[in-house]
Amino acid sequence: MAQLQAVSSSPSSKFVFHAHGAKRFESYQNRDKLFCLGRLSSNQELGARSSGLHGNAVVHQKGNLAQASASRVIQAVLTGEKETDVSSSPKSRGLRGKLNKVVLAYSGGLDTSVIVPWLRENYGCEVVCFTADVGQGIKEMDGLEAKAKASGACQLVVKDLKEEFVRDYIFPCLRAGAIYERKYLLGTSMARPVIAKAMVDVAKEVGADAVSHGCTGKGNDQVRFELTFFALNPELNVVAPWREWEIKGREDAIEYAKKHNVPVPVTKKSIYSRDRNLWHLSHEGDILEDPANEPRKDMYMMSVDPEDAHDKPEYVEIGIVSGLPVSVNGKELSPASLLTELNDIGGRHGIGRIDMVENRLVGMKSRGVYETPGGTILFAAAQELESLTLDRETIQVKDSLALKYAELVYAGRWFDPLRQSMDAFMEKITETTTGSVTLKLYKGSVTVAGRKSPYSLYRQDISSFESGQIYDQADAAGFIRLYGLPMRVRAMLEKGI
């Protein structure tokens, strides 16, 4: 979830809301009640609502697109700015006043605390706060319910999703070998679907007709949440306040919170935008926004600096059954416990720091730093064991599919038959990837120290320099002549033979 940044106000006073293709969606309107900026109904509604709350709505026309600034009303309150033009045919926000109950992904931070009253105000609905424990380190659980209610929620639902997250989302990605753009181990990408799915379930439980999230309109997370909502319950309305309201930064949010008697969280805001779960901790913003800058030592939280890590290497043995890790140093552990253990071990050796510039699904490049200590160890182990159990053609196809798999997960297409079918392939092809890998951890690096498997296709008697009956060197002559026949034929063509 995006956290509000201290951001300077934009000099431009234009608020642009595009009403894209209201016409196109009209035919869906009966069938699909998904809320969108493009969904506008009668002018009166908007006018009524606006005057009901805070004053006139401001509408700017731009060719075929009618732009509505319904939430300019908030701006009017916050900054006392004068309204400018009032034109005809304002298109009101479609579902204002039409939602009963919204399930909101809630963190207890400033932004989601502000969303609660904003939803109630702008949509006249009840708000059920939902908090998922995906290993982000939830503190003050009791305080959380009180906080949610103090901001206006009627209820707080909390679910511990750690085991489900690791077992049903992380482990399949690990087994597939899914890495996005060479480096990113998909920490945030895998978490959104498990949270969003839980929200859909909660919506059913509490009888909600809408879901909402606090993701900005600039990131991937909004896509990941909403694609999951689409896939699991297309009838749910989706509200994304960041794409609608006028709040642009921390100060706006604090203003808004005060005006609505919402307790402002006391915790000092970090200069970085972070996302944390059991798999990783991500950092963005501040000096990281210039890719020429090296991250500062004090930014990291999940791993020690490699220079400060132990001077002696540590060996760790990972036991794997059919492509999935089951034990650490001989100890069988549940998925979430196993990952936690490896985060500890990896963290103290500075393992898993990733610094990259990535291509977001929403089109721009962004720079982020990720700490993935346990995950980096697990990837190294799983891929290493595969080198014993998978043959050449298999690794080729698996690695090719893994590229696509990572793209799907990164884009939030978790609940997509394509991803699910790939998992069927991955599950089958890793059936015999069982065994153990010993890794050496030392000052930020992971090296393999040994691997074994009862299903290993490696035979010492073939590859060694001794002759054997399994492999006859003379066979190679025939093999090369046939393998190279296309090249010979082509060369003869070129030489006119």
Cite the active site residues. 111, 192, 221, 273
For 37-49, letters b (16+ CB in 10 Å) and e give bbbbbebebbeeb
Point out which residues pair with 452 in neighbouring strands. Answer: 436
Per CB under 8 A, the list member of 297, 307, 330, 496 interacting with its own copies is 307
Window 347 to 406, contacts with its own copies (CB under 8 A)? 353, 355-367, 383, 387-388, 391-392, 395-396, 399-400, 403
Nearer to its own copies, 265 or 306 (CB): 306
Smallest gap from residue 217 Cβ to its own copies (A): 3
x/- contact string, 256-295, with its own copies (CB under 8 A)? -----------------x-----------x---xxxxxx-
CA 226 to CA 230: how far, in whole Å?
A: 6
Least distance to its own copies from the beta carbon of 96, Å?
A: 15
* Interface with its own copies (CB under 8 A), residue from 62, 258, 259, 481: 481
Q: How far is the CB of 33 from its own copies (least distance, A)?
A: 10
CB of 365 to its own copies, least distance (A): 4
Of residues 85-144, which lie at the interface with its own copies (CB under 8 A)? none
Which one of the spans 33-41, 90-98, 123-131, 204-212 is the region binding its own copies (CB under 8 A)? 33-41
Round to whole Å and give the CA distance between 409 and 401.
12
Separation in Å, CA 367 to CA 2, 187, 227, 411: 15, 15, 24, 17
* Token pair for 214: 């606090």
Decide if residue 27 touches its own copies (CB under 8 A).
no
Give the other-Cβ count within 10 Å of 387's Cβ.
Answer: 16
Q: Which two tokens stand for residue 389?
A: 């159990």
Q: Detail the DSSP E strand segments found in 280-334.
A: 281-284, 314-321, 324-328, 331-332
Written as six digits, the tokens of 485 are 């026949």
> Residue type at 289?
E
Q: Which of residues 45-84 bind its own copies (CB under 8 A)?
A: none
Contact set for its own copies, span 240-259 (CB under 8 A): 240, 242-244, 248-249
Q: By C-beta, is 217 or 263 nearer to its own copies?
A: 217
User: Which of these ranges, 154-162, 203-211, 307-315, 328-336, lies near its own copies under the rule CB under 8 A?
Assistant: 307-315
Joined together, the tokens standing for residue 278 give: 């059991």
Q: How far apart are CA 80 and CA 264, in angstroms?
A: 22
